[in-house]
Amino acid sequence: MEALLNIVYCEILKLRRSKIVLFSILGVLSTPFLMLVEALQTHFEHPEEVFTLSDIYNSSLLYVMLLMNIMVYVAITSYLFSREYTEKTLKTILPIPVSRFDFITGKFLILNIWTMLLTVLTWAAIFALMLGYHVIFGLDGFSLKVAGEWLIKFLLGSVLMFMTISPFAYIAERTKGFVIPVIISAAVVMGSAALSNQEFGALYPYTASLFLINGRIKSTGYPILLVVGIIVLFSLIGFYLTFRYFDREDFK
Domain residue ranges of the chain, discontinuous segments joined by +: 2-248
Q: Are 181 and 206 in contact (CB under 8 A)?
A: no
pLDDT band at 252 (very low <50, low <70, confident <90, very high): low
Q: How far apart are CA 58 and CA 187, in angstroms?
A: 24
pLDDT band at 6 (very low <50, low <70, confident <90, very high): confident
**pLDDT for the residue 157:** 95
Q: Which pLDDT tens digit goes with each residue over 83-133?
A: 888 777 776 666 666 788 888 999 999 999 999 999 999 999 999 999 999
Helix axes 224-248, 166-175, angle to 10 degrees: 30
Q: Which pLDDT tens digit goes with each residue over 201-211?
A: 999 999 999 99
pTM, rounded to two decimals: 0.92
Among 1-5, 44-48, 239-243, the range scoring the smallest mean pLDDT is: 1-5
* Percentage of residues in the chain having pLDDT higher than 70: 94
Q: How far apart are CA 250 and CA 144, in angstroms?
A: 53
Q: Which pLDDT tens digit goes with each residue over 66-75?
A: 988 999 999 9
The answer to whether residue 14 scores a pLDDT higher than 80 is: no
The answer to whether residue 250 scores a pLDDT higher than 70 is: no
Q: How far apart are CA 126 and CA 129, in angstroms?
A: 5
The answer to whether residue 56 scores a pLDDT higher than 80 is: yes
Q: How far apart are CA 78 and CA 171, in angstroms?
A: 8
Averaged pLDDT score across all residues of the chain: 90
pLDDT band at 41 (very low <50, low <70, confident <90, very high): very high
